[in-house]
Amino acid sequence: MKVLITGGAGFIGSNLCERLLKMGHEVLCLDNFYTGSKNNIAEFLGNSKFEVIRQDISEPFLIEADFIINLACPASVPHYQKDPLKTMKDNVYGIFNVMENVRRLKIPVLHTSTSEVYGSPGVHPQPESYNGNVNTVSIRSCYDEGKRAAETIMFDYHRRYGADIKVVRVFNTYGPKMLENDGRVVSNFIVQALQGDDLTVYGNGKQTRSFCYISDLIDGITLFMENKSGFTGPVNLGNNYEFTVIDFAKLVISLTGSKSKIRFVELPKDDPIQRNPDLTLARKILGYNPKVDIEEGLKKTISYFKKVLKH
């Protein structure tokens, strides 16, 4: 197939480009390089099956493809809060622009939503049936509510026009090709540890997270791509191994061999206390099962950041 990946130069997008090229697909990478990196896709530029299109997702575009995967949106807190109105436009205008191409071409689309649609959850772990607990006026809302609105728009296209949609809710994911300054806990801790700085833990560190290695997430996305059952989702993808942020910080220090200490700072408003996917549906419908354990994934990610920080 010819697959369009919006946000294809980002962390998840570039890893997905690599996987789809290896599977023999043609890949169109659409990105405005706001948070995407040209370095992430440099290795594919000599591949005749790979093409780059510089385009802002919030502006209308026409494309020819057999399948669209929508990843375009700043996903880390500092990046999506830098210009919250732009973040909302990327989510809302962006999904309209994607879906108009889907409707015109009559092709399938897979949209990556987020675990942030659950907000600060009142149910744990979070199943897809949980409607969430999101503060509509928080500084995080441009992302949380933008992603919720995008899901709504997709399902309205599905109901009104019969659009072939697939919606994934992505939980915390890490691995090579992350930006070192993206403000996420994994990259923050690894970079701080490698540079000998204190690891910054928000609150008391007892909040929990679950982290999915990038290859496991890409496995889930490709399984969903190839699923012909008519299943639309939304479906959670991630890893349901859960531990506290403080324990995670200690693990990073241990694996890097760093002498860094842990420094506690104030917990940001509306930062979720618990985050863990219920993977029952993904296992049942897609046969999804994350394989990479946290130590193996972290060692690979630490190795990547060591190379990045040398340049």
Active site residue 93: no
214-223 mean pLDDT: 98
Q: What is the CATH number of domain 2-171+213-238+277-290?
A: 3.40.50.720
Per-residue pLDDT, 273: 81
Query: pLDDT of 102-135, one tens digit each?
Result: 999 999 999 999 999 999 889 999 999 999 999 9
Q: What is the pTM of this model?
A: 0.95
Catalytic residue among 34, 118, 143, 288: 143
pLDDT in tens, 89-100: 999 999 999 999
> At what angle are helices 245-256 and 185-194 packed, to 10 degrees?
40
